[in-house]
Chain A
Amino acid sequence: MKENIISINHVHFRYPGQTVYALKDVSLNVAKGEWLAIVGHNGSGKSTLAKMLNGLHYPEEGQVTICNFPLKDEFVWDIRRRLGMVFQNPDNQFVGTTVQDDVAFGLENNGIPHEVMVERVKASLQRVGMLDFLNQEPHHLSGGQKQRVAIAGVIALQPDIILLDEATSMLDPRGREEVLRTVRQLKEEQDLTVISITHDLEEASRADRIIVLNKGSVYREGTPEEIFQLNEELIKLGLDVPFPVKLSEILRLQDFEIASNYLSEEELVRELWTSNFKK
């Protein structure tokens, strides 16, 4: 069993002036080096939780510990140095006048020597496929390109944990694929812990573990296989199920033989062919 890099115990939180809890008795752990996806409908508490992990909100009750630091005012900068965050809208997180200035911004604030900085900026941009845009002004980039630069800015700081708050929701399929592949590669090379908050099933199905939030509480927790078996239950929560699971359901109604619920298209195609056509 790997050690926990984040532990959240019985956390409650309400926005100022609100009576409804945005987070209600949330308890969960994140193991070092794991990829955890947090899914839930809009308003389920996902983003509130994300902001709490970066010390933008503090729990009303309960404790949060990140990289052995309790979430308190005095440790918030230690935590932020170790947990890099990529938000949904890239326009709100751009500060530089050029792409490379933007990536360098965080490094400069952390007093990284110039030579190291130049190297890290280039390496980070290379990883997100934006090296060719080094001197472009951010407002000339499309949303997806900006987001890749934002991710470069985070990985340049070499955090222990990277938190993607719907960070791929504005990318096109190719851009999304590129970013997810990059994140996967970084995770493996540097034992990075990844938390992705997402509606995207593709993205969630690549995680080691999924947590489903509903109305501010943890609704279910499990591997992607376990979670996607919930099928109708997920749809009722405003979520979706992967295509192969949906198709299997419909085919069974038409008297096709489909033995189990496959998550991959490849497996379902094979099952469909061998059990129904190849006779």
Chain B
Amino acid sequence: MADDKRIDPATGTEIKHHEWDGIQELDTPLPRWWLWTFYATILFSVGYVIAYPAIPMIDRATGGMLGWSSRGALDKELAARERQIAPIRKAIAETPVAALPGRPELMQQAVEGGRAAFRVHCVQCHGSGAAGSKGYPNLNDDDWLWGGDLAAIEKTITDGIRNPDHDATRQSLMPAFGKDQLLTAAQVDDVVAHVRAISGQDRASAASRRGERVFADNCAVCHGAAGKGSRELGAPDLTDAIWLYGGDVGTIRETVWNSRHGVMPRWDDKLDKATIRMLAAYVHSLGGGEGNGGR
């Protein structure tokens, strides 16, 4: 069909047969090296299909000769990361918790590691911001039931609180003064009035003065004569602004009547020493930590 060929006089290139509004298209040849690069990409794709997962089958894609998988790559990355932080974990496990603040870099790493572990193990009760909720202490504040220095926090995490199957656990039992008829209803009301008064929520009244007596006889053993609490027994400070269950009359009455026995699991059977130590460092760093580096 050589007679069909039309040649553009300016370029010497063949003109395609279609035309629109007087505009025609030149059939400019591609450079041959372009063709070679095209063949090279085809060759590459053949090699790729052989080496890597490529062709979808019924339940999975072909595996590829290199045995590569995205899950395998992730496992490798995680293992590499584990190897990388292993010496840090080892150093943390070997450093007494009270000595951590003396090594700021290690402390920093412990806090970061603790932040990650907290997200996994602690947020269910204490909340993602460690702010707690009713019955679960806020770990950001400066009020500690069992002590707020690094060693005390580590001990609490290690052994838990009121753990029935663990002898070393932190243990104390407040009597159920109303339910077990240790106090009369009127006495309970009086002691609630007293607690409201020493915490500065109500003014002293006749009831609170009666309650002061009841308090001295029944409560001061653990909570102290002034109601400042005792960390050995996990007895809360009743004079401050922080209430684990609530500081209103109804809640305090409920607490005195039924008592409260919050529990926390021991973690030494689930987590290794380094992780517990990192958790302690993290909780300590939240702003209320005491002692050890003066936090």
Question: Is chain B found bound to chain A in the same assembly?
Answer: no
